[in-house]
Amino acid sequence: MLKFRTMKADADPYGHSPHGRDDPRLTGIGRFLREKSLDELPQLLNVLSGQMSMVGPRPLYERQATEWTEQQRRRLDVRPGITGHAQIRGRASMTHEDKIALDLEYVDNHTLLGDFILIAQTFVAAFAGKADIYEKRYSRDRERETDS
């Protein structure tokens, strides 16, 4: 998956997502690219090459899939996409589990018309600039683990 680099070269590529615009790992241009969702533009080349779709579950690290249930693995039944329900309905304010549930909703109910609607909603959200891109909490399960 192609993407513009938005974090400093010495940042852990598998570390946590930035939680705010003041995250010291972000570069100045990287902050701008993320906030305008322009860091995703190179993925259009992945779409043109057939590796990704415009709409579908966002690609995740392979190591994350090892933690999924058989039900959650169904999100791999469709090609990963640049945008999807989670990007429109809450993005960073959602937990990982919420995003997987929306991905599964997409897997079970996607249509060409639905994809066009999601693409239109993505443009509206991107140009309105109101989407919260900074992760609030990663996982309800991990919160439970750290509370114990």
Give me the pLDDT at residue 81, please.
96
Give me the pLDDT at residue 146, please.
44
How far is 146 from 106, CA to CA, in rounded Å?
Answer: 31
Give me the pLDDT at residue 77, please.
94
How far is 136 from 148, CA to CA, in rounded Å?
Answer: 20
Give me the pLDDT at residue 44, please.
96
Give me the pLDDT at residue 127, please.
75
Question: What are the residue ranges spanned by the domains of the chain?
Answer: 53-147
Please write down the long-range contacts of 126-130, taking CB distance under 8 Å and 24 or more positions apart: 126/36, 126/37, 129/35, 129/36
Residues of the chain with pLDDT under 50: 144-148
Give me the pLDDT at residue 145, please.
46
